[in-house]
Amino acid sequence: MEVDVTRLGHRIAELSAIGGTGPAITRLGLSREEQAARELVGGWLTARGASVRRDAAANLVARFGGDGPAILVGSHLDSVPEGGRFDGALGVLCAVEAIDALLDDGVRFRRPIEVIAWSDEEGARFGIGLFGSCAAFGRLPENAAARADRDGMTIADALRSLGESGDPTRARRADAAVSAYLELHIEQGPRLERAGVPLAVVSAIVGIFHGRVTVRGRQDHAGATVMGERKDALVAAAEMVVAVERIARAVPDAVGTVGELVPKPGAKNVIPGEVSFSLDIRAPREDDLERILRELRAEMRRIGDARGVTSSVDVLARVPVAPLDLPLRELLLRSVKAVGVEAPLLVSGAGHDAQNPQLAGIPTGMIFVRSTGGSHTPIEWCDVADAALGAEALAGALRELAA
């Protein structure tokens, strides 16, 4: 069995034309462009005999085979504004290529397979990341359909404009209808490039803590207040930001980021009385994540006491760690080895649709393909030869699961 590198390359180019201007792709979730991408992919799969439908969350579902629980394989087709060609799209294209290769080889599926393109994974438009897979696995936030984009269009409106009912919770699948989920995705980071290896198998998707810290000091005159008498909220916040870096750095595979910081009132001759900053902490083990948060809270108290300021943390989101399925990990390591790659195990620091089925108890496995140039940028890149290796490994795993 062999995948067709030329076919895969052509399809990457064809899909990239939808929402593409030069190397940049803008294919927002639940937009006309995302719909056009689904139609293109759905057409390829219809031609191979799949029964193709969209569900109530605008996920594309292309089913091969009859009744019974299905093996799902796919990723997403939406992008961030001015994103790249490969994030998400490559996982769908490689799933299609894997199916094509198996069918070209005369393989018959004894268990049903569904190629899936999840809608609005990025959440760039409505603020709900992993939207389509959250809907399918019962993990949507309350009242998700009422969330609006910048123009005031709600998710319900957007779904209706695509021909759906407007209620994405109807996309909920019975867990028993799905026996496994596989996803291929570009790595989006430098580890495989550094190691000189084209593929990896993902061991876990990190848990995420999103919070907002508010530091309260005393607003005062920048000239008249002597240095010993200040309760400067910004200097305290600055020490806390450095503590985030130090504490996260001490834990393997953990990361901590402060990406937003707002001093108030925000004038050059006023000592800041209040500062709020964002907190993004990620780790591949729950106890590590909890330990980082504990240490950070203790450190913030210590800094606050020393500087006469107080601080509080609002929790905005807490996504649990998704350790991926062990038997599927072994299967993917075998199928990657069969295409000649000794794949390392990597933790995913980014969230992926794959975490939703895994958190719903469905065995889930993931392959990373080497990518360069970062991600969520037009210079994100993946070699078609690497992608083809990934598709071939995916096909090997699907053959073992379904044939």
Nearest distance in Å: CB 112, Zn ion: 25
- Find the part of the chain contacting Zn ion (CB under 5 A) among 7-15, 85-93, 267-275, 390-398: 85-93
Q: Quick one: 244 or 369, whose CB is closer to Zn ion?
A: 369
Residue 294: burial class (beta carbons within 10 Å; 0-12, 13-18, 19+): exposed
Window 269 to 288, contacts with Zn ion (CB under 5 A): none
Q: Which residue has the tokens 């649709």?
A: 353
| CB nearer to Zn ion: pick between 87 and 187 | 87
103 or 255: CB nearest Zn ion: 255
CA proximity to 208, closest of 168, 180, 248, 240? 248
Q: Which residues contact 81 (CB under 8 A, 6 or more apart)?
A: 26, 28, 124
Q: Which stretch binds Zn ion (CB under 5 A): 88-96, 141-149, 171-179, 211-219?
A: 88-96
Q: DSSP characters for 279-299?
A: EEEEESSHHHHHHHHHHHHHH
Determine if 74 is a binding residue for Zn ion (CB under 5 A): no
Residue 88 or 390 with smaller CB distance to Zn ion = 88
Complex with Zn ion: residue 88 or 323, whichever CB lies closer: 88
Task: Give the residue nearest to Zn ion (CB).
Answer: 88
Q: What is the DSSP string of 174-201?
A: PGGGEEEEEEEEE--SSHHHHHT-SEEE
Residue 265 C-beta: closest distance to Zn ion, Å = 39
Packing angle, helices 384-402 and 326-338, rounded to 10: 120
Shortest distance (Å) from residue 22 CB to Zn ion: 21
CB of 373 to Zn ion, least distance (A): 15
Q: Does 87 bind Zn ion (CB under 5 A)?
A: yes
Q: Which stretch binds Zn ion (CB under 5 A): 1-9, 83-91, 103-111, 338-346?
A: 83-91
Can you tell me the distance from the alpha carbon of 158 to that of 58, in angstroms, rounded to the nearest whole number? 10
Cβ closest to Zn ion, residue 27 vs residue 173 = 27
Shortest gap between Cβ of 86 and Zn ion (angstroms)?
9
Nearest to 59 by CA among 156, 127, 122, 136: 136
Of 15-23, 86-94, 161-169, 365-373, the segment contacting Zn ion by CB under 5 A is 86-94
For 14-19, which contacts have Cβ atoms below 8 Å and span 24 or more sequence positions?
A: 14/40, 15/40, 15/41, 15/77, 15/85, 15/89, 15/93, 16/85, 16/89, 19/79
CB 33 within 8 A of CB 18: yes
Element (H, E) at 72: strand 70-76
Nearer to Zn ion among residue 87 and residue 232 (C-beta): 87
Q: Binding of Zn ion at residue 380 (CB under 5 A)?
A: no
Q: Under rule CB under 5 A, which residues in 101-120 are in contact with Zn ion? A: none
Tokens read off for 189? 């980071």
- In the complex with Zn ion, which residue's Cβ is closer, 114 or 122? 122
- Which range touches Zn ion (CB under 5 A), out of 29-37, 79-87, 167-175, 281-289? 79-87
Pick 270 or 350: Cβ nearer Zn ion:
350
Residue with tokens 């929790």: 315
Q: How far is the CB of 310 from Zn ion (least distance, A)?
A: 39
Strand partners, 280: 210, 257
How many chain residues are in contact with Zn ion, going by CB under 5 A? 2
Least Å from the CB of residue 103 to Zn ion: 26
Beta strands in 135-284 (DSSP E): 178-186, 199-205, 207-216, 220-221, 255-257, 261-264, 270-271, 274-283
* Smallest separation, CB 231 to Zn ion (Å): 43
Contact range with Zn ion by CB under 5 A, out of 84-92, 174-182, 290-298, 318-326: 84-92
Is residue 256 within the footprint of Zn ion (CB under 5 A)?
no
88 touching Zn ion, by CB under 5 A:
yes
Residue 340 neighbours by CB distance under 10 Å: 11
Binding site for Zn ion (CB under 5 A): 87-88
